[in-house]
Structure 1
Amino acid sequence: MTRIAVGGFLHETNTFAPTKATYADFVHGGGWPSMTLGADVLKVMRRINVGLAGFIEAAEANSWELVPTIACGASPCAHVTEDAFERIVKVMVDGIANAGKLDAVYLDLHGAMVTEHLDDGEGEILARVRKVIGPDVPLVASLDLHANVTPEMVEHADALIAYRTYPHVDMADTGRAGAKHLALMLKTKQRFAKAFRQLPFLIPISWQCTNDQPTKSIYEKLAALESDSVPTLSFAPGFPAADFRDCGPSVFAYGKTQADADAAADRIAAIIEGHEDDFDGRIYSPDDGVRHAMELAKTASKPIVIADTQDNPGAGGDSDTTGMLRALVRNKASRAATGVIYDPQSAKAAHTAGVGAIVTLALGGKSGISGDAPYKESFVVEKLSDGKFVAPGPYYGGRDMDMGPSACLRIGDIRVVVSSHKAQLADQAMYRYVGIEPTEQKILVNKSSVHFRADFEPIAETLLICAAPGAMPADTADLPWTRLRPGIRIKPNGPAFNPSTKSRSTG
């Protein structure tokens, strides 16, 4: 029987964010399943939208024997601590080393992990795994669409395969694609030629959405280029908030010959570069966005949904800034709801006070973001929750969620979801678990950039993007870059990075 070792270790690192990822964060998981070890990996990672779950399903259909090691992830934030990285990778690598004879290894990785001691977390993981399995055992990894792929990652893996949707509704499908490519390698005993291209400009995440152009058509063309000669082709727009050499978009192809791989990679890279002008769009200030939403809501039959994009916990924000809440209150919005504000102290105070009580709080604003502060006001406690629920929408895909003690607080006709754990508001259930019915609101303000669209576009009249203070600037040129590779443009059609001159944010 074919024996394959599997594991997962995912983190998207915003090196400019305020809070690091500790071992405890991976144990809890945030928006990911809690850390699982050994045989439990095969029990937990099933029928949910993650790469490993898709791979496990395909492996069982192929009658492969799986040797599970560890599976974990944590909400995006600043660097992974050295302690967390080393403890988790040791379990993974030791599990692979002690597995006996293996025919292959599959890993579910993100591709944009930076640690306290390593710029390239995934490159190091793949290098350590390659060292214990030797040069001949196939090693395949699935990656997030936001991967900042490095030459070292490409070197150590036989294939890297990235998601093709943002919102990421195809994470499990990408695991299945990894299994398909691995099956082809095992059947043909063939190693495919690799081609890797890094693109010359950063792409802000708000314009990476695959529901919209130009990204939608790029992925359609990419899929059409796959063939027997080029079984796997990926485009990763990258995560543009990691200050190191290899941050940015990339293309990677695997072909029967080097010429096949090179031709496919060059074709897609040229298409992407030809769309540089199109990776841009309208972003509102908090007040302009709220006022526009209120005007649209007068005639809308469905909610106006606003992305609070710069405090997206899916991009390193702490999910606790108050700029959009203040704008809702200041402009006297009605039938409005926002979330999730991460504030364990305020959630605890609401639980202590009880439903119906009026509590005076310093809500949110505790992560030290410039231009933000706690919102000191009185709120009515409308509903309390232990924070446990299922998120059935397309992004979370049926995951069990644990937001910790949570509350619905009301100020005027505005309701606020307050939690004790962080996760991106990308599922309607993240309102319903504290008693807010999202479809009945005029305005919803979600701490998310794009993932929310998978579950909210069907109920939305219109989607808007607002830029209140937060850890993930909507304009990548606003970040204080110091370590990018020389010459890469820090936004589409923007200035080229020059390491000898400070960016405008640090000057």
Structure 2
Amino acid sequence: MPRDPAKKIAILGLMLESNAFAPVTTEADFRSRVLLRGEEILTDLASGEPKLPTEICGFVAAMNETATWVPAPILVGLVEAGGPLEHGFFRQCHEEMRQRLIAAMPIDGVYISNHGAMITTETKDPDGEIFAMVREVVGRDVPVVATLDLHGNVSERMVESADVIVAYRTNPHVDMLDRGREAARALQALFGGMQPESTMIRLPVTPPTVTLLTDEGPYADLINFGQSLIDDDILNVSILGGFAYSDTPKNGLAIIVTGRRRNGAAVRVARKIAAQAWSEYRRYTPLLTPLDAAVERVLAVAHDPALPAVILADVADNPGGGGNGNTMWIIEALHMAGATGVIAGVIYDPALAAEATSLGEGADFEAVFNRVEPDAFSRRFSVRARVKRVRDGDCVGRRGFYAGRKMNLGPTVLLDIGGIEIVVVSIRTQCADPIFLERMGLDIGKARAVVVKSRGHFRAGFNEFFTHDQVIEVDAPGLTSPILSRFDFKNLPRPVYPVDADVTWSVPA
């Protein structure tokens, strides 16, 4: 029996989670992480340790297993969360994607791998512009599927331009491979004649990041409720908590339901989920531990071996949310209190890493963190330190969010400032994987306290050392503070909870 003719599938994406209050993201930032074009994408996929987004790897694996197809690699970029993307570079990528897509025509299908919360220095919906461009080039009859981070801010243009949108369902994000596979299955269903119906409902709620965990809490309950409604009529339920710091008119908890047929089931399910979400919206209130209380806990743990060790999450300076990754409030407070048995990382300070590298292992010197203060959050901190270890930045993620992904942290050093050992890196990265500390010779299991620059992804990486009860989310200053009332939002749809206390809303008819 002859095989079905090979389907030609375009693969593209530009992944950035933009914090409107953070420094501008540039082309150099993408080049230091991932910026691949054409055949470079296939070469990376064929390597044993790809740098590409994990969902793309899942999509390709599923297509290889179940379909006869030919990939048409376009352009894929991935970078750590940061500020708005420099608009000129976005326009350059957008046009290159368009031209490469045109050159690849005719196309049978398209897979878009975006984050969903990107903004540029000039526009609030660049993700929507990419989606709309793809639809314009390939036409209405070519299936388009997309995956998004559950922190994406979804616009109507995105929903209208794609046939199926699949968002992550886990936070910490450990299901990207599965969601890529799900997108591949959706594309094959579209090839089989499925006529989907998608609908979106957005609520006036911008959940703080620490309230969006999916093991327990309000978001976990909502995700589980949505999944319980999937049946023969419903293909996918995606509930995106969004990313408040993008500060856009499309911010707000978004419910996207895709039905397998145009019979109104998607709308009915979306309304049911929206009603459930609104009935519990006040649960999205962050509860953090004051800095002085966190320091007291560390001191108690250090003096009493019978107490379980703790991990302090510097949620307000999370590079994974656009934080600088260099604020020293927690470390300075622990040092002033005489804390011992503490590991901290990873601190982004290229100048300090370069100086320590040049001095070499064993050198004692005055370590100056943030010698040029980028803002009021990242203030200067000077302390005597010893260089314990110098390494390059190449590694492969071991657990959780970065598992199996090739990473580069730039020149990296381990500094000892007494009772605290600090890992300093040269490429801004969220400390979501224990390998970032272990590769410097640190034994996490023997530490009494660990301080990580991460909001939540560290939970999946460090859960072999720390249970939920051992996690302390610290209230300190920073660009990613979960206390949203501290930010001067300009573009959020108002009123919106919890920025505003009094919000009224009802499920739209």
Q: What's the TM-score once normalised by structure 1's chain length? A: 0.93
1:21-52 superposed Cα distances (whole Å, 9 cap, x missing partner): 111111111xxxx2222122123246766211
1:60 to 45, 48, 64: 64
TM alignment of 1:67-466, pairs within 5 A: 67-188=72-193, 190-255=194-259, 256-296=261-301, 298-300=304-306, 303-364=309-370, 366=372, 368-461=374-467, 462-466=470-474
Q: Aligned partner of 2:416: which letter?
A: R
TM alignment of 1:36-55, pairs within 5 A: 36-45=36-45, 50-55=54-59
Distance, in Å, in 2 between the alignment partners of 1:366 and 1:120 is 33
Contact 1:21 1:79 in 2 (8 A): yes
1:70 offset after TM fit, Å? Answer: 1.4
1:56-111 superposed Cα distances (whole Å, 9 cap, x missing partner): 11111122211111121111111000122122222222221111221110010000
Q: Aligned partner of 1:6: which letter?
A: I
Is 1:468 aligned to residue 468 of structure 2?
no
1:395 offset after TM fit, Å? Answer: 0.9
Q: Aligned partner of 1:431: which letter?
A: L
Contact 1:341 1:364 in 2 (8 A): no
Distance, in Å, in 2 between the alignment partners of 1:330 and 1:97 is 60
1:404-428 superposed Cα distances (whole Å, 9 cap, x missing partner): 1110001111011101111100000
Distance 1:490 1:436, change over 3 A: same
How many correspondences in the alignment?
490
Counterpart for residue 494 of structure 1:
501
1:324 offset after TM fit, Å? Answer: 1.0
Is 1:484 aligned to residue 492 of structure 2?
yes
Contact 2:210 2:456 in 1 (8 A): yes
Contact 1:232 1:253 in 2 (8 A): yes
User: Which runs of 5 or more residues in structure 1 are unaligned?
Assistant: 498-507
Contact 1:369 1:470 in 2 (8 A): no
Contact 1:426 1:451 in 2 (8 A): yes
1:389-414 superposed Cα distances (whole Å, 9 cap, x missing partner): 11111210211111111100011110
Distance, in Å, in 1 between the alignment partners of 2:486 and 2:270 is 30
Q: Aligned partner of 2:145: which letter?
A: V
Distance, in Å, in 2 between the alignment partners of 1:468 and 1:441 is 22
Contact 1:111 1:149 in 2 (8 A): yes
Say what the alpha-carbon RMSD is for the aligned residues: 1.8
2:25 to 21, 36, 61: 21
Distance, in Å, in 2 between the alignment partners of 1:342 and 1:281 is 26
Distance, in Å, in 2 between the alignment partners of 1:267 and 1:379 is 57
User: Which runs of 5 or more residues in structure 2 are unaligned?
Assistant: 1-5, 505-509
Counterpart for residue 507 of structure 2:
none
Contact 1:140 1:159 in 2 (8 A): yes
Contact 1:143 1:162 in 2 (8 A): yes
1:257-286 superposed Cα distances (whole Å, 9 cap, x missing partner): 252011111111122222223223431222
Distance 1:372 1:72, change over 3 A: closer
Q: Aligned partner of 1:242: which letter?
A: S
1:212 offset after TM fit, Å? Answer: 1.8
Distance, in Å, in 1 between the alignment partners of 2:411 and 2:119 is 30
1:371 offset after TM fit, Å? Answer: 4.7
1:114 offset after TM fit, Å? Answer: 0.3
Distance, in Å, in 2 between the alignment partners of 1:361 and 1:83 is 37
Residue 88 of structure 1: SS of its match in structure 2? helix
Residue 459 of structure 1: SS of its match in structure 2? coil
Q: What's the TM-score once normalised by structure 2's chain length? A: 0.93
Contact 2:286 2:483 in 1 (8 A): no
